[in-house]
């Protein structure tokens, strides 16, 4: 039976083509792999027949190290049933190719066909669409023609470094390492993953496995109001260069290095609290209005104070906050997932199609109490089946668009840009002075505290493709 792409999948009950698909798919796509310690290599293949041969040899050599989705899911199952075991700490290796990378492999005619993927992130049309800085302002490695990316991630620094060395041992003379990135998980006192501005991150995700949905239903605040289920087709793409596109799938992978100016963001939180004359504990609401959640993950649309973090809630929509008097329209999580309230003529089901599987990780060292202005940030990573409809739509049509979401009342002012990731001119925005009450106040725009330092689009191909090169 063909793989059912229209629904989530039960990996425990997968048989036939669905089971083969899981054996042939890279890990980290359908479900995030642990990547507390993460290394990223940006690679360029050499020119000519020798370059092609070495690139192919590297990828076939890498194939046995690349973890399959099936192996990863079995490891997760064994861990849940029996606790830590020998396999619990086997790092993940993943690999992706750019369109130019397929060219160097002499496979441009069989490369995945997504238009954005073919353009790449350095392309002027892409940069203008996303509002990204000139390529000359990006970090050096990202300015070059990138052909491949390798990710090595896991729970322990030691095993991840050993695995990275194994990968590096496969690199031959014509393959250049253009850049290296290192990610490192950050956590708050509740052990939830956070990003550099201090907010819980990675909580809200589309879920593609029925086992994950069941877990969400039983162990969190549930899925009755906001159901994170998404069909496999939202993340999987038949691998056009693989032996059997009926069982061999991949996914488009977005990588963006986003530097975070922690001091500027902290100043923006304080400035907003001052402008609205928020006092005492209510001052924390300023930051929560920029993000849409309090630092501990409590959704601002649900309550005026933090505290709902055991577990961090995700079973909500903006239905009881249509006028955005609790969570402003311009808050990061309302801009990037309006949960059916965005307007723009899109019914809720259509709106959900823009969501993507986020797999980001923080980078950069800092000491407690530090407010770094450079050198730290987020390695934003996400899997998509359609870059134009998912990542690009979210950044361009939602985050960077001052008119989105469409305010419930026609006379209400435009929301302005996404307060965290919006790129472009920042008009002033209007904020609720008191949680849940109508009176709003216009405040001059905060400075942009997130700067794009480089990135690229990749396709993470199937394992049979890699083996057969």
Interface ranges with ligand HEM (CB under 6 A): 195, 197, 199-204, 258, 260, 291, 293, 332-333, 336-337, 377-378, 380, 391, 394-395, 399, 420-421, 450
Shortest Å distance, C-beta 195 to ligand HEM: 4
C-beta of residue 426 within 8 angstroms of C-beta of residue 416:
yes
**Is beta strand 440-443 parallel, antiparallel or unpaired with respect to 92-97?**
unpaired
Shortest Å distance, C-beta 462 to ligand HEM: 26
Taking the CB of residue 192, how many other CB atoms lie within 10 A of it? Answer: 20
Please say which residue, 55 or 333, places its beta carbon nearer to ligand HEM.
Answer: 333
Shortest Å distance, C-beta 158 to ligand HEM: 28
Cα distance between the two ends of the chain: 27
C-beta of residue 73 within 8 angstroms of C-beta of residue 436:
no
Distance in angstroms (rounded) separating the CA atoms of residues 251 and 242: 13
Please say which residue, 185 or 468, places its beta carbon nearer to ligand HEM.
Answer: 185
Return the DSSP state at 385. S
Question: In whole angstroms, what separates CA 254 from the centre of its chain?
Answer: 8
Please say which residue, 195 or 211, places its beta carbon nearer to ligand HEM.
Answer: 195
Distance in angstroms (rounded) separating the CA atoms of residues 149 and 456: 9
Shortest Å distance, C-beta 393 to ligand HEM: 9
Please say which residue, 399 or 417, places its beta carbon nearer to ligand HEM.
Answer: 399
Please say which residue, 95 or 291, places its beta carbon nearer to ligand HEM.
Answer: 291
Please report the sign of the dihedral spanned by the C-alpha atoms of residue 432, residue 438, residue 439, residue 441: positive
Shortest Å distance, C-beta 419 to ligand HEM: 10
Please say which residue, 98 or 337, places its beta carbon nearer to ligand HEM.
Answer: 337
Please say which residue, 142 or 199, places its beta carbon nearer to ligand HEM.
Answer: 199
Question: In whole angstroms, what separates CA 273 from the centre of its chain?
Answer: 29
What 3-state DSSP class applies to 244? Answer: coil
Shortest Å distance, C-beta 326 to ligand HEM: 14
- Give bridge partners of residue 176 from the DSSP assignment: 44
Shortest Å distance, C-beta 317 to ligand HEM: 10
Shortest Å distance, C-beta 341 to ligand HEM: 11
Shortest Å distance, C-beta 423 to ligand HEM: 10
C-beta of residue 144 within 8 angstroms of C-beta of residue 135:
no
Burial class for 49, CB neighbours closer than 10 Å (0-12, 13-18, 19+):
exposed
Element (H, E) at 279: none
Please say which residue, 247 or 298, places its beta carbon nearer to ligand HEM.
Answer: 298
Please say which residue, 179 or 338, places its beta carbon nearer to ligand HEM.
Answer: 338
Half-sphere exposure of 326 (CA within 13 A, CB side): 18
Per-residue tokens: 297: 């993950």
Element (H, E) at 178: strand 176-184
């Amino acid at each position: 039976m063909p793989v059912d792409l229209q629904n989530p999948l039960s990996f425990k009950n997968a048989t036939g083509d669905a089971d083969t698909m899981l054996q042939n798919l890279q890990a980290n796509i359908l479900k995030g792999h642990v990547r507390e310690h993460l290394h990223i290599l940006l690679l360029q293949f050499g020119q000519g027949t020798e370059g092609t041969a070495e690139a192919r040899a590297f990828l076939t050599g890498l194939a046995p190290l690349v973890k399959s989705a099936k192996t990863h899911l079995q490891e997760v199952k064994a861990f849940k049933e029996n606790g830590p075991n020998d396999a619990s700490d086997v790092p993940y290796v993943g690999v992706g190719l750019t369109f130019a990378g397929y060219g160097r492999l002499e496979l441009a005619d069989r490369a995945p066909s997504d238009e954005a993927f073919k353009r790449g992130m350095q392309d002027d049309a892409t940069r203008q669409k996303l509002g990204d800085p000139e390529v000359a302002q990006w970090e050096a490695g990202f300015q070059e023609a990138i052909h491949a990316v390798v990710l090595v991630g896991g729970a322990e620094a030691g095993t991840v470094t050993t695995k990275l060395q194994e990968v590096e041992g496969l690199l031959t003379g014509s393959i250049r390492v253009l850049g290296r990135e290192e990610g490192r998980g950050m956590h708050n006192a509740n052990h939830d993953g956070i990003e550099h501005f201090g907010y819980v991150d990675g909580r809200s995700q589309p879920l593609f496995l029925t086992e994950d949905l069941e877990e969400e239903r039983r162990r969190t605040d549930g899925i009755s109001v906001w159901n994170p289920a998404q069909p496999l087709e939202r993340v999987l793409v038949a691998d056009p260069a693989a032996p059997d596109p009926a069982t061999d799938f991949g996914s488009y992978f977005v990588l963006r290095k986003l530097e975070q100016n922690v001091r500027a963001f902290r100043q923006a939180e304080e400035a907003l609290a001052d402008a609205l004359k928020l006092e005492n504990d209510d001052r924390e609401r300023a930051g929560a209005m920029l993000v849409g959640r309090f630092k501990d993950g409590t959704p601002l649309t649900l309550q005026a104070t933090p505290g709902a973090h055991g577990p961090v809630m995700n079973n909500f929509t903006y239905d009881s906050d249509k006028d955005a008097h609790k969570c402003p329209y311009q808050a990061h999580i309302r801009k990037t997932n309006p949960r059916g309230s965005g307007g723009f003529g899109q019914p809720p089901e259509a709106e959900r199609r823009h969501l993507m599987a986020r797999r980001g990780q923080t980078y950069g060292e800092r000491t407690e109490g530090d407010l770094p202005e450079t050198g730290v940030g987020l390695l934003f990573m996400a899997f998509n089946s359609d870059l134009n409809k998912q990542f690009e739509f979210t950044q361009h049509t939602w985050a960077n668009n001052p008119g989105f979401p469409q305010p419930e009342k026609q006379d209400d002012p435009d929301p302005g840009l996404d307060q965290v990731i919006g790129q472009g001119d920042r008009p002033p925005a209007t904020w609720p002075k008191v949680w849940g009450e109508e009176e709003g106040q216009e405040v001059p725009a905060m400075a942009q505290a997130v700067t794009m330092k480089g990135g690229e689009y990749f396709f993470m191909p199937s394992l049979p493709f890699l083996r057969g090169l």
